[in-house]
Amino acid sequence: MMHRILIVPLVFFTIMFAVSAMADEKPCCEDLLKQQQEALASLEKENALLQEKIAAFEGAPHISCDVLALKNYRRLREIAGDIKAQRQSMADFEAYVKWMTANLSGYSKYIEAGSFAAGFAKALPIPYAGQASVLTKFISQGVLSLNSASVSISRYLGTSKQFIATVESLDQAAPDVRTREISDIAHFADQKLLKDMNDVRARLAATAELSSSTLSFLESLNHYVGSTDEYWNKTKSILTRKEADKNEKSFLSQSIQGLKNRAGNFNARLKRFEESSKKEEPLIKSLGTYDELIREMAMTTAKNSGPGK
């Protein structure tokens, strides 16, 4: 009985506590909802500010114009160093072109005679694979090609000298002046230096083809005259009998050996020059790309730093 008396008050107080808790539950839920709404509003505001910062960051340059200008300056110095090495080869090219021009006239009597002999000597190749039906035309075309190569070499020597001098003068220029001059030099390199470099490369390649074609003909001719006197007999109207003796044949062999040696050296230098030119072309093109990027960044910076920014 005593236990039943104690249990009743306990149950009563438990029920009263539960009712009281239920009465307080509604206000607590409203507070929690309000806190969540305030937190969400705060997050939305923070996110909006973050988006604005991201947009401003994307619109602003990550690298300054001065840094890019310095990169262009260093690239110009690298190119100038390579151009100096090219200029050393130009002197050798110029000497070979002059030598070839002088000797091509000396070969003319053989080539003219060969033009006559080609009608009966099937072993004699016609230079340029039949582009000239008469080999005297080959001589005149060869001289014109060599003259064009000489002019191209002289022009590139002048252009490259100007480029190197302007690049080296940047060391004494003030920072603001240097930036403008770097832009001007980059434009000069892209529009003038690269054009003259490619032109002299093409002219020298034509000179190599001319040398190869002449050498091929003279070697075939030498082989033919060494095996028969028919050539000398057939061409006696062009070559005198004095020229048809052993000394003349020996001169032909010596001419071939001299051309072969000098052409071999020329081709080796030409290969190095072509490799250097192929390396320089993308570097020079990149100068213009950097310069354009610097201009765009400068405009963007000026726009972002204008009134009200």
Kindly state whether residue 257 falls inside one of the protein's structural domains.
yes
Q: Tell me the pLDDT band of 128, cut-offs 50, 70 and 90.
A: very low
Instruction: Looking at the structure, tell me whether residues 141 and 249 fall in a common domain.
Output: yes
Residues 189 and 284: beta-carbon distance below 8 Å:
yes
Three-state secondary structure call for residue 123: coil
The confidence score (pLDDT) of residue 14 equals 47
Q: Considering the chain, what percentage of its residues have pLDDT values greater than 70?
A: 59
Instruction: Looking at the structure, tell me whether residues 216 and 106 fall in a common domain.
Output: yes
Instruction: Looking at the structure, tell me whether residues 24 and 152 fall in a common domain.
Output: no
Residues 197 and 298: beta-carbon distance below 8 Å:
no
Which of the given ranges, 78-82, 246-250, 284-288, has the highest pLDDT on average? 78-82
Closest to 208 measured CA to CA, from 106, 126, 92, 97: 97
What mean pLDDT value characterizes the chain?
Answer: 74
Instruction: Looking at the structure, tell me whether residues 71 and 199 fall in a common domain.
Output: yes
The number of beta carbons lying within 10 Å of the beta carbon of residue 267 is 15
**Stronger pLDDT, 64 or 84, i.e. the higher one:** 84
Instruction: Looking at the structure, tell me whether residues 39 and 79 fall in a common domain.
Output: no
Instruction: Looking at the structure, tell me whether residues 38 and 138 fall in a common domain.
Output: no
The number of beta carbons lying within 10 Å of the beta carbon of residue 101 is 17
Is the per-residue pLDDT at 219 higher than 70? yes
Kindly state whether residue 309 falls inside one of the protein's structural domains.
no
Give the pLDDT confidence of 153-208 residue by residue, as tens digits. Answer: 999 999 999 999 999 988 887 766 777 888 889 899 999 999 999 999 999 999 99
Residues 205 and 172: beta-carbon distance below 8 Å:
no
Kindly state whether residue 95 falls inside one of the protein's structural domains.
yes
Instruction: Looking at the structure, tell me whether residues 280 and 298 fall in a common domain.
Output: yes
Which of the given ranges, 49-58, 110-119, 128-137, 232-241, has the highest pLDDT on average? 49-58
Number of domains, the chain? 2
The CA radius of gyration of the chain, in Å to the nearest whole number, is 43
The number of beta carbons lying within 10 Å of the beta carbon of residue 208 is 18
* Structural domain harbouring 124: 65-304
Kindly state whether residue 228 falls inside one of the protein's structural domains.
yes
The confidence score (pLDDT) of residue 73 equals 86
Residues belonging to the chain: 309
The C-alpha atoms of residue 215 and residue 209 are separated, in whole angstroms, by 10
Among 38, 59, 80, residue at a domain's last position: 59
Instruction: Looking at the structure, tell me whether residues 102 and 197 fall in a common domain.
Output: yes
**Tokens read off for 231:** 């050539």
Burial category of 34 from C-beta neighbours within 10 Å (exposed 0-12, middle 13-18, buried 19 and up): exposed
Q: Tell me the pLDDT band of 29, cut-offs 50, 70 and 90.
A: low
Give the pLDDT confidence of 245-257 residue by residue, as tens digits. Answer: 455 566 677 888 8
Kindly state whether residue 249 falls inside one of the protein's structural domains.
yes
Kindly state whether residue 205 falls inside one of the protein's structural domains.
yes
Instruction: Looking at the structure, tell me whether residues 226 and 256 fall in a common domain.
Output: yes
The confidence score (pLDDT) of residue 106 equals 72
**Tokens read off for 309:** 């920014």
Among 59, 90, 106, residue at a domain's last position: 59
Instruction: Looking at the structure, tell me whether residues 143 and 8 fall in a common domain.
Output: no
Among 20, 38, 59, residue at a domain's last position: 59
Instruction: Looking at the structure, tell me whether residues 32 and 92 fall in a common domain.
Output: no
Instruction: Looking at the structure, tell me whether residues 29 and 98 fall in a common domain.
Output: no
Residue with tokens 């075939």: 220
The C-alpha atoms of residue 200 and residue 194 are separated, in whole angstroms, by 10
Closest to 198 measured CA to CA, from 166, 156, 163: 156
The confidence score (pLDDT) of residue 68 equals 76
Kindly state whether residue 124 falls inside one of the protein's structural domains.
yes
